[in-house]
Amino acid sequence: MNTNLIDSSQEVLSDDSSNKQYTFTIENGVVKAYFEVENGVSEQESIDNRDTFVINGNQITHTKQTSNGLETEVFVDSDGDGFYTRTSQSNQNGNDDDSNDDNGNDDNGNDDDSSGNHKVFKFEINNGQVTAVFELKNGVLEPKSLDDNGTKSYTVSGNDVIRTEIKPFGTEITRYSDADGDGLFVRVSEQWQVSTNPSGVVPRFTETITFTPTSNDDNIAVRGGEHCRGGQGADDFIFREADHLRIEDFSSQTGDALIFDTGLGLTSKEHLASFITDIHHDGQNFIVNFGSTVSITLIGVQPDQISWDDVSVLS
């Protein structure tokens, strides 16, 4: 596959003190803890269940949730002494930590309305019933249709809200969760169930797909405007929409795969390939364009690390 050069999205740090290093506690190939070491003083850094670490030889890539969205840090132990230096740091859109204006808005015009770059929703709940739905856009909670002429319904289950939507092929079941109890919800899973008499384009993938990775083999939803990252297992990234899409940690070496569901109307790899207008590498990321309005970017993937063997079209 041919490559062309475009702007790199990763910032190389030049201001990290030479006295600041990091150590990692690793058990069975999994980071359990890490510490900042400065002037001989070691201080443990916090890790929660949304932080992910990818170990690749002497390099560790850490992805964490921040108030400005998803942040990725790369640490390298160049001499193998167990002490790592942070060599780069970037957010979801490839911007450094200082790229926001005084109002906290991204200079590229992207909304800082997400929880780890997941779309954010709010539900008004009275007596266990959802009475209003909002999506956070540009800092404003915009109302959404509660039932879409009877095609949607909501149920409340603990800290979760479950939406059931009638589709031509059957039903779509989406689960939203408010893990920290702040009243804002993100999508955590989705499942498409095919009815006995479906119409239109019928999806083949009917297992549950998730928006948040685990350490197991996951089925990951690939959505525009959503942070898309797998975990430490062999993950299937499920495509069900045409948009500008990004995957942060695709690795064919660990068994990851790109799965295009027939919900997109595709019939084969050849059919998918017929829509490609450009394939190139920007020096860091592998990018496939389908015209000007649809693209897939595989962050950090080199041209020799992806092939059609890693792609499936369900038909």
DSSP annotation of 272: H
Looking at the structure, do residues 185 and 214 belong to the same domain, yes or no?
Answer: no
Task: List, for residues 202-252, the tens digit of each pLDDT value.
Answer: 889 999 999 988 888 999 999 887 778 888 889 999 999 889 999 988 999
Number of separate domains in the chain: 3
Give me 12's structure tokens.
């190389």
Residue 140 in any domain: the answer is: yes
Least confident segment among 47-56, 61-70, 150-159 = 61-70
Task: List, for residues 246-305, the tens digit of each pLDDT value.
Answer: 998 899 999 999 999 977 788 999 999 999 999 999 888 999 999 988 999 999 999 999
Residue 174 in any domain: the answer is: yes
Q: Is the pLDDT of residue 114 over 60?
A: no
CA 149 to each of CA 8, 67, 83, 146, 153: distance values in angstroms, whole numbers, following the listed order: 46, 36, 59, 9, 10
Looking at the structure, do residues 241 and 176 belong to the same domain, yes or no?
Answer: no
- What confidence score (pLDDT) does residue 99 get? 34
Residue 97 in any domain: the answer is: no
Looking at the structure, do residues 179 and 236 belong to the same domain, yes or no?
Answer: no
Amino acid at 310: D
Give me 128's structure tokens.
């266990």
Q: Is the pTM of this model over 0.85?
A: no
Query: Domain range spanning residue 304?
Result: 209-313
**Euclidean distance between CA atoms 121 and 2, whole angstroms:** 40
Q: Of the candidates 48, 15, 78, 1, which has an alpha carbon nearest to the alpha carbon of residue 278?
A: 1
CA 306 to each of CA 15, 55, 157, 215, 298: distance values in angstroms, whole numbers, following the listed order: 34, 19, 41, 22, 9
Looking at the structure, do residues 161 and 220 belong to the same domain, yes or no?
Answer: no
Which of 194, 220, 247 is the endpoint of a domain?
A: 194
- What confidence score (pLDDT) does residue 91 get? 64
Which of 149, 166, 194 is the endpoint of a domain?
A: 194
- What confidence score (pLDDT) does residue 179 get? 85
